[in-house]
Amino acid sequence: MALAMNVRTGKTVNVPDHYIGHEILGKDLEVLDGAEAQAAPKKENKKKTKYVPEALDGDGDGLVQDGTEWERPVGTETEELPAPEIDIESNEENN
């Protein structure tokens, strides 16, 4: 990714390298010398799903329930804790 300035708007933008010098995509872009931009870190998005004790490793990577809060190595089990009971009237958890 290249750091460039849009000469029409004056805004600094982060663009793919192939935009620079392109007849259309890079038309109003001016490269900022020596500047190298970095991509923002990606958010970790875990899928919401139920715990499956007998989950299978479908892709052979050694993990079951990939990409979920229950992701774990094959052959291990995680204890699923029951949700706490909540007394709506007092707004308190009962264990």
22-54 tens-digit pLDDT: 888 888 998 887 655 555 667 777 778 888 888
Residue 62 lies in a domain: yes
Q: Can you tell me which residue has the tokens 């007092």? A: 90
Give yes or no for residue 81 having a pLDDT over 70.
no
Residue 93 lies in a domain: no
Residue 89 lies in a domain: no
What's the pLDDT score for residue 31? Answer: 87
What's the pLDDT score for residue 91? Answer: 67
Over the range 10-24, which residues count as b (16 or more CB within 10 Å of their CB) and which as e?
eeebebeeebeeeee
What's the pLDDT score for residue 61? Answer: 93
How many structural domains comprise the chain?
Answer: 2
Range of the domain at 14: 2-31
Residue 87 lies in a domain: no
pTM of the model: 0.38
Residue 36 lies in a domain: no
Q: Are 21 and 30 in contact (CB under 8 A)?
A: no
3-state secondary structure of 43: coil
Most confident of 9-13, 31-35, 40-44, 89-93: 9-13
Q: Are 29 and 5 in contact (CB under 8 A)?
A: yes
